[in-house]
Amino acid sequence: MEEKIVYSDIFRAAWKGLKSQFWLLVGLLIGFTIIYSLLYLFAIPAKGETMSISGIIVFILCIFLYYLFIMGYLKNCLQTLDGEEPQFSAYGQVTRKLPAFILASILYSVIISIGFALLIIPGIYLLLRLQFFYASMVDENTGIVESFKRSWNITKGYSLQLFILMLIMILISFIGTIALFIGIFVAVPLTTLIYGYTYRKLTAPAV
């Protein structure tokens, strides 16, 4: 049976994908960061003031924009891994899934928080087993419950490998952060591609 998680293959595919669409993936991230930061600053009230109605509206807009970008960006990374040109239309395609995605993300956070409250290890285990609900909703158009089931099924027997991969991704993000912070704009697309490729391998038919 084919070993689905081979670190060298994962990194090679992710790096190849990043190089092939470097300026697009990095540019999208930089553009989103600038727009999101400006909107967020506008929503924050001045010291001693309460948040205005317009500020609340902008704050809610920031939340929706954040999750919309996560979905669209992941879709772009999956397109890159599939050898396709990332399409801006991906953000429009995932818009209708946005409410369910936000709800699933909140539910995921609650589940993980409960797991961490139970002596940490259960939280890490649940995080690893359920993490691909994001990709399932974006790529397979699954519902909330179905996406969690999908992630749980494809990660069965791979907890240790996924834990090691998670540590490596954290290290990449840390290095990107300390590299004058500019490196984070390379680390984010790289780790997203790693995540996407791992998902692709786990959902591929067994050979």
According to the model, what pLDDT value does residue 1 have? Answer: 47
Q: Which range (41-45, 99-103, 166-170, 172-176) has the least confidence?
A: 41-45
Listing DSSP states for 107-129 in one string gives HHHHHHHHHHHTTSHHHHHHHHH
According to the model, what pLDDT value does residue 118 have? Answer: 86
User: In angstroms, rounded to a whole number, what is the distance separating the alpha carbons of residues 101 and 178?
Assistant: 31
Report the 10 Å Cβ neighbour count for 188.
18
Which pair of structure tokens corresponds to residue 46? 């001045």
pLDDT tens, residue by residue, 110-153: 999 999 998 889 999 999 999 999 999 999 999 999 999 999 99
Task: Say if residue 42's pLDDT is above 90.
Answer: no
Are 159 and 131 within 8 A, CB to CB? no
Task: Say if residue 4's pLDDT is above 90.
Answer: no
What average pLDDT does the segment 61-73 reach?
95
CB burial readout 94-123, b (16+ within 10 A) else e? beebeeebbebbeebeebbeebeeeeeeeb
Task: Say if residue 31's pLDDT is above 60.
Answer: yes
What average pLDDT does the segment 63-75 reach?
96
According to the model, what pLDDT value does residue 59 have? Answer: 84
Place of tokens 């704009």: 185
Q: What percent of the chain has pLDDT over 70?
A: 95
According to the model, what pLDDT value does residue 130 have? Answer: 97
Question: What is the pTM (predicted TM-score) of this model?
Answer: 0.93
Are 39 and 61 within 8 A, CB to CB? yes
CB burial readout 139-152, b (16+ within 10 A) else e? beebebeebbebbe
pLDDT tens, residue by residue, 148-191: 999 999 999 999 999 999 999 999 999 988 876 789 999 999 99
Which pair of structure tokens corresponds to residue 117? 């409250």
According to the model, what pLDDT value does residue 49 have? Answer: 67
Average pLDDT, the chain: 91
What average pLDDT does the segment 16-31 reach?
96
User: In angstroms, rounded to a whole number, what is the distance separating the alpha carbons of residues 92 and 127?
Assistant: 28
pLDDT band at residue 204, thresholds of 50, 70 and 90?
Answer: confident
According to the model, what pLDDT value does residue 95 have? Answer: 92
Task: Say if residue 2's pLDDT is above 70.
Answer: no
